[in-house]
Amino acid sequence: MAAKKSPLEIAVNLDPDMTPVLYTDNVLMTVNDDGVVLDIGQKVGSTNSMQIVSRVGMSKIHARKLVNELGKLLLMAEGQIATGERN
Read off φ and ψ for residue 83, nearest 5 degrees.
-95, -20
- Strand 35-43's sheet: what is its strand order? 26-32, 35-43, 50-58
Q: Is the full-model pTM beyond 0.85?
A: no
pLDDT tens, the chain, 87 aa long: 455 555 678 898 989 889 888 889 999 999 999 999 999 999 999 999 999 999 999 999 999 999 999 999 999 888 876 666 665
- List own/partner pairs for 33-42 with CB under 8 A and 24 or more apart: 34/59, 35/59, 35/60, 35/62, 35/63, 36/60, 36/62, 36/63
What pLDDT sits at residue 42?
A: 95
